[in-house]
Structures are given as structure tokens and as C-alpha cells.
Amino acid sequence: MCGIVGVLGREPVDEALVVEMRDRLVHRGPDAAGLWSSADLRVCLGFRRLAIIDPRPDADQPFLSEDGRFAIVLNGEIYNFRSLRSELETKGVQFRTRSDTEVLLEAYRAWGSGCLGRLSGMFAFAIWDREQGRLFCARDRAGEKPFHYALANGSFAPSLRVSVWVPQS
């Protein structure tokens, strides 16, 4: 188990609200807590961690791509992450961790939303793409890891069923 939360708003997000949301999930992730906000403060992602696959701190979430373009929070497990990792390594991807989170992020970078057809596991996740200004969210087919969200006052608040959501200008 882990816990993911976040808010995407038209105005700057109140980080304290996201921290409060995140910390209400301490029972889902007692090992670490993380928070990330975009430079314009319109996106804020929070995470409570139950460290299982790669318990080292460099695999903590929210996890950022090396170039800073992507930020991801993932609840669950990608069962076939090792085979996906091997496939991505043959394409030249270099990994910094042994985590399934980083593999999912790189799979999204390589295949976009098509990565979903390659995943085996139980998961709910959100990926912010700074360059595209887009939040991509998904959950496993069976809904084993639920994804709850709210639309309020022009903001999208995943407390983690939306596949792609793009804010209107």
C-alpha cells in the first residue's frame, strides 16, 4: 500500500492542503512522505510510502525524471516492471533506481498512453508533464487500486478514474 494525492488548479495550489490530504493517508504509507509542486504552483502532488520494491530514499515519491520534465506518484505495483525495464534499456534508457515507479515513468516517456497496454499489475498513478502542461492519470483495469478525484472551483483534485485530463485555458 501507498497513498497518493494531488491538486491541479488554475490558480496556485495551497500546499498545506495537499500536505493535510497526504498525511491523512499515513496508515497507507508509514515509511516516507513526499511533496512536489510545479514552478508555477498550479500542480502539487503528495505521497505516503510503504517501501517494498526499492526501499532506498532515491526511489521516494513524488519521483522526478532526470530532466525534470515529468513528476509521478504511483500507488501499487507494476508486476512486469523488470521485463519493461530490460526493453527500455535496449532503447538506451538509463535508470537511477531499481523501482517500478521509475520504469513506469520511462515507459510513459517512451510510449505515452500506450504504456497502459503493456502494464501488468495493480496501480493508480498520476504523471505531470511540464512540457505539455498535462496531467495523465490511470488505474489498473480491475480497479484494485482505486482512483478518486474531484472537480471543484476549476481545479482537479485527485486523491487518487480519469485517463487524460487537460485543464481548459
Where exactly are the structural domains of the chain?
3-163
- Bridge pairing between strands 43-49 and 63-64: unpaired
C-alpha cell at 168: 481548459
Q: What is the pLDDT of residues 89-146, one digit of tens each?
A: 999 999 999 999 999 999 999 999 999 999 999 999 999 999 999 999 999 988 888 7
Record the pTM. 0.87
C-alpha cell at 103: 520504469
DSSP, res 131: T
Q: What is the pLDDT of residue 158?
A: 60
| Rounded Cα gap, residues 87 and 111, in angstroms | 12
Contact (Cβ atoms closer than 8 angstroms) between residue 2 and residue 75? yes
Q: Which stretch of DSSP H or E encloses residue 45? A: strand 43-49
Active site residues: 2
Fold of 3-163: Glutamine Phosphoribosylpyrophosphate, subunit 1, domain 1 (3.60.20)
**Amino acid in position 102:** E
